[in-house]
Chains A and B, each alone.
Chain A
Amino acid sequence: MISTTALPPAKMPRPEPNKRRRLLQTAGAVAFWVVVWQVAAATLGYGGLFLTSPLGTLEALARLLPTADFWHRIAFSALRILAGFLLAVVFGALLGAASARWKLVRILFNPVMQLIRAMPVASFVILALLWASSANLSVIVSFTHVLPVVYAGVAAGIADTDRQLIEMAKVYRLPLSRRLRYIWLPGIFPSFCESCAAAMGMCWKSGVSAEVIGLPDHSVGDALYRAKITLTTPDVFAWTLVIVLLSASLSAIATRLLRLARNCLCGEVRA
């Protein structure tokens, strides 16, 4: 009798106890640091002037949330930072693919990407202020910080693509569309997704830093700076918390969307 080995099904759910344990561990670690923060704020915070407590941060956030100005600033910064991110993803992907295909492109662009990676945000902001209005500063700065990350991610993904599958496609003379869909994209996606998730965090950091230096009106960076000069430390903490939450949630959304795109694009052959 022919043995057909019983294998786990393709979409086997992860064992729940492990997931729950990991969640509990993370929640425990977060709770530990919140307690440390609370104790530090109570002992060293000088009534919230130097270090606001977690509760003080939440109170400040609750005060900011219902105001139109808060949402206006979030929309202003998010639109520009995400525009820079999306532009960088498109250009980074195209340049990364071109550099993997043509050596000349790689030789030309590798030093530029390394230079961009090494340059401090402040230098970029000052230069960008000479070239563009402060309102569009975060577009330029988030673009320049995301570009080398996506470029490197796509180039690495292409390098990691299975050479044996590429040979197979050559022998069977697969059309380019099928090679892209079923061989190149699945090869590139893991490293591309990873770089996009990392870049999403970076673009918020660099974008808000640029706004703090360039002070465009109605931006999150401007609000942070105002909170600093007026010594309203709880607002600084509240805005920082908002930026962290926005960055993390958008990073998670981007990763999910990319996974969905991969499953739709590379999952099934139209016979």
Chain B
Amino acid sequence: MIRIIGLCKTFDQGPRQPPLGEESPGKQVLADVCLAIDGPAVLMGPSGQGKTTLLRILMGLETPDAGRIEGLEGRRIAAMFQEDRLCPQLTAADNICLTGRGVTRAQAREELRALGFADADLKTPAGRLSGGQKRRAALLRALLCRGADLLLLDEPFTGMDDALVDRAAAAVVRLAAGRDTLLVTHDHAAARLLGWPVLTLDQN
């Protein structure tokens, strides 16, 4: 179980100087956030509430101003970012194998086919895939990462039509089974498909 206790994060507002005698206000994106991740969960909430920042802190890419996270030490993380972050010169399957720690190209291709990749798409470098295909490849990269015991998925269903969301959600449930997972989404229908507990981040 991962416990997030009293997490705070404020981002600098940029070069604009505050009036004399006043402190730079900054933009507080997380204020005293407390969560527990035990098994899979969906994290929902209005835009700008710090969901992505929370994931980035869990990934070790941001440092919180205050608070602490327990149970993260030694965990192997696989993540799907807001951006696809695929190596553009590699095929989708090679991108999956790159981080997969032993996943075979055949397994990667099989899962990609299940998410609508045609044979020609499997030979195409990721840089030339469509936005939706890149998204699906990035999702499978996280899900197929062997040895990862914490999955952090940021808006994995963006750009997918309803039929594809069905298939992707089924793949998420199947491949994330038995691992702690935090999936951020705005899509209520997709969250229902997953059938996971829903955590809401609303700091208003």
**Please, which residues of chain B bring their CB within 8 A of the CB of A164?**
81, 83, 85
Question: Which of the segments B19-27, B119-127, B176-184 contacts the partner chain?
Answer: B119-127
7 A-B pairs besides A165-B85, A167-B81 with CB distance below 8 A are: A1-B163, A2-B167, A164-B81, A165-B87, A271-B100, A271-B103, A271-B108
Per-residue interface assignment for chain B, residues 131 to 174, with 1 indicating a CB less than 8 Å from any chain A CB and 0 otherwise: 01100000000000100000000000000010110010000000
**Please, which residues of chain A bring their CB within 8 A of the CB of B76?**
173
What 8 A-B pairs have minimum CB-CB distances, sorted nearest first?
A271-B97, A2-B116, A172-B99, A269-B94, A168-B85, A271-B105, A5-B130, A269-B97
B79 within 8 A of A: yes
* Count, chain A residues at interface, CB 8 A: 28
Bound state CA distance, A168 and B105, in angstroms?
20
Contact A186 B129 (CB under 8 A): no
Per-residue interface assignment for chain A, residues 30 to 44, with 1 indicating a CB less than 8 Å from any chain B CB and 0 otherwise: 000000000000000
Query: Among residues 255 to 271 in chain A, which have CB atoms less than 8 Å away from a CB atom of chain B?
Result: 266-269, 271
Which residues in B have some Cβ–Cβ distance to A below 8 Å?
59-61, 76-79, 81, 83, 85, 87-90, 93-95, 97-100, 103-105, 108, 116-118, 120-121, 123-125, 128-130, 132-133, 145, 161, 163-164, 167
A178 within 8 A of B: yes
Bound state CA distance, A9 and B93, in angstroms?
16
Bound state CA distance, A10 and B163, in angstroms?
28
A171 within 8 A of B: yes
Contact A9 B120 (CB under 8 A): yes
Bound state CA distance, A7 and B88, in angstroms?
15
Nearest A-chain residue to B116, judged by Cβ: A2
Minimum CB–CB distance from B115 to chain A (whole Å) comes to: 8
Nearest A-chain residue to B142, judged by Cβ: A172
Q: A4-B133, A186-B89 are in contact. Are A10 and B128 (CB under 8 A)?
A: yes
Contact B97 A171 (CB under 8 A): no
Bound state CA distance, A10 and B123, in angstroms?
7
A4: which of B118, B123, B145 is its contact (CB, 8 Å)? B118
Is chain A's binding surface mostly helix, strand, loop or mixed?
loop
27 A–B contacts from the bound complex (CB under 8 Å): A2-B116, A2-B163, A2-B164, A2-B167, A4-B116, A4-B117, A4-B121, A4-B133, A7-B120, A7-B124, A7-B129, A9-B123, A10-B124, A165-B85, A168-B81, A170-B60, A171-B59, A171-B77, A172-B77, A173-B76, A183-B87, A267-B90, A268-B90, A269-B95, A269-B98, A271-B97, A271-B105
Contact A271 B104 (CB under 8 A): yes
A8 within 8 A of B: yes
Contact A182 B98 (CB under 8 A): yes
**Please, which residues of chain A bring their CB within 8 A of the CB of B81?**
164, 167-168
Bound state CA distance, A3 and B136, in angstroms?
13
A174 within 8 A of B: yes
Query: Among residues 1 to 39 in chain A, which have CB atoms less than 8 Å away from a CB atom of chain B?
Result: 1-10
**Please, which residues of chain B bring their CB within 8 A of the CB of A8?**
128
**Please, which residues of chain B bring their CB within 8 A of the CB of A10?**
123-125, 128
**Please, which residues of chain A bring their CB within 8 A of the CB of B125?**
10
**Please, which residues of chain B bring their CB within 8 A of the CB of A186?**
87-89
**Please, which residues of chain A bring their CB within 8 A of the CB of B132?**
5
B87: which of A2, A5, A167, A182 is its contact (CB, 8 Å)? A182
Bound state CA distance, A8 and B136, in angstroms?
19
Contact A7 B79 (CB under 8 A): no
Contact A167 B97 (CB under 8 A): no
Bound state CA distance, A7 and B81, in angstroms?
24
**Please, which residues of chain A bring their CB within 8 A of the CB of B78?**
171-172
**Please, which residues of chain A bring their CB within 8 A of the CB of B120?**
6-7, 9
